[in-house]
Amino acid sequence: MSSGGTFDSPLSALLSRLKYEELFGPSTMGKIASSLLKKLPLPHQIAPIEGALEEIPDLALDSSLRRGAIALIEVILEELKGPSNSIENVKSRLVRLETFIASSTGASLFRQSAGATQRTADRSKIRRIGTILLNGAMSWPKEEQEREVRAQEMAEFTRIAEILTDTDIMVLNAIYKAQVGLIERYRSVIRKEPASAQQGELQTQWIQAVFQIWRDTEFTSDANPLPFFAVHSALVRLESQGLIGSTTTQNVVAQVTSTPYGLLELGAQFVEFAVTLAENDRHQTKALC
């Protein structure tokens, strides 16, 4: 959208004609997906003949990724739909997504997301992959150095999202809710900064804090406790991805496991960036500051 509030792209022009109830119809989703795909930068060797092509998306994306790309865009549209999102908000986010996809880095991240989507039939995984892409587009930094860091984060989050199951996410969410308050206080420990006398003392404090919280951590689904082996497998997988870390092998009374796990910063960032679109508003506010 231009500074004067007028629409300045084919997608914007399409969106400007739609009412809220029309925005999420199957045929409209297809048109929006097609418009977004056409914004992908074309490979260098075919760019000179871009104007002569009628089916640009087929060349902009490898054919094996096209279905994944469309499924990815559709799930993003589904996630944007909701009573708390006005039509102006939805349209604004789609146009910002279009701008992001049109950049070389955005296109590369989009292709990674489309590839991950293509490799799974799990709708929950696709939703999280789409959330990462959308949150990344909404919070895309202005500074080049910050963009490089954000691109690396998004690529890592997408890789992890393709691996984790719904049970893994439930377990990670439970740990996040219990321990997110410790992140700022013990950030140097959680980031594994160089050891020092102060670090040793902080590490001891962090372990003790995790112990206290771990005893009250509940791993449930629809208010029912998750099976022990499901939680155990999730903890192992979450630790292998660097989202949580075991604090000790000492026996500590807990609901389903005797080894307390501490939330690491990557785990907190993944939850905030990949699990919910509610965080999108916070990211967008930061990006506009």
Residue 162 backbone dihedrals phi, psi, to 5 degrees = -70, -20
Q: Out of 7-11, 142-146, 184-188, 278-282, which region has the weakest mean confidence (pLDDT)?
A: 278-282
More confident residue, 277 or 98: 98
Same domain, 151 and 218: no
pLDDT on residue 248: 65
Sign of CA dihedral 101, 106, 111, 116: negative
**Ranges of H-type helices in the chain:** 10-16, 20-23, 26-37, 56-60, 63-80, 87-101, 104-118, 123-138, 144-163, 166-179, 182-185, 187-190, 197-214, 228-240, 265-270, 278-288
Domain's final residue, options 111, 129, 163: 163
pLDDT at 146 (0 to 100): 94
Q: Report yes or no on 278 lying in a domain.
A: no
Write down the pLDDT at residue 277. 57
pLDDT at 55 over 70: no
Is residue 284 domain-resident?
no
Lowest mean pLDDT across 38-47, 96-105, 113-122? 38-47
Q: Let me know whether 17 and 77 are in one domain.
A: yes
- How high is the pLDDT of residue 141? 94
**Shared domain check, 186 and 121:** no
**Coil, strand or helix: which one is 144?**
helix
| pLDDT tens sequence across 60-102 | 566 667 788 888 888 888 888 776 678 888 888 899 999 999 8
Write down which residue in 163, 182, 215 finishes a domain: 163
Specify whether 229 is located in the same domain as 133: no
Give domain status of residue 16, yes or no. Answer: yes
Same domain, 173 and 158: no
- Tell me if 279 is assigned to some domain: no
Task: Name the domain boundary from 163, 179, 205.
Answer: 163
Residues 124, 198 within the same domain? no
Domain total for the chain? 2
Same domain for 149 and 38, yes or no, is yes
Is there a single domain that holds both residue 71 and residue 196?
no
Shared domain for 21 and 124, answered yes or no, is yes
Q: Is the pLDDT of residue 3 over 70?
A: no
More confident residue, 59 or 62: 62
What is the pLDDT, as a whole number, of residue 51? Answer: 39
CB 130 within 8 A of CB 75: yes
Residue 49, domain member (yes or no): yes
Q: Is there a single domain that holds both residue 148 and residue 206?
A: no
Domain coverage including residue 14: 10-163
Q: What mean pLDDT is predicted for residues 16-39?
A: 80
Q: Does 287 reside within a domain? A: no
Of 36-40, 101-105, 199-203, which one has max mean pLDDT?
101-105
Q: Does residue 21 share a domain with residue 155? A: yes
d(CA 52, CA 41): 15
Same-domain check for residues 155 and 178 = no
| Residue 24 belongs to a domain | yes
pLDDT digits (tens, 9 = 90+) for 128-162: 999 999 999 999 999 999 999 999 999 999 999 99
Higher pLDDT, 63 or 15: 15
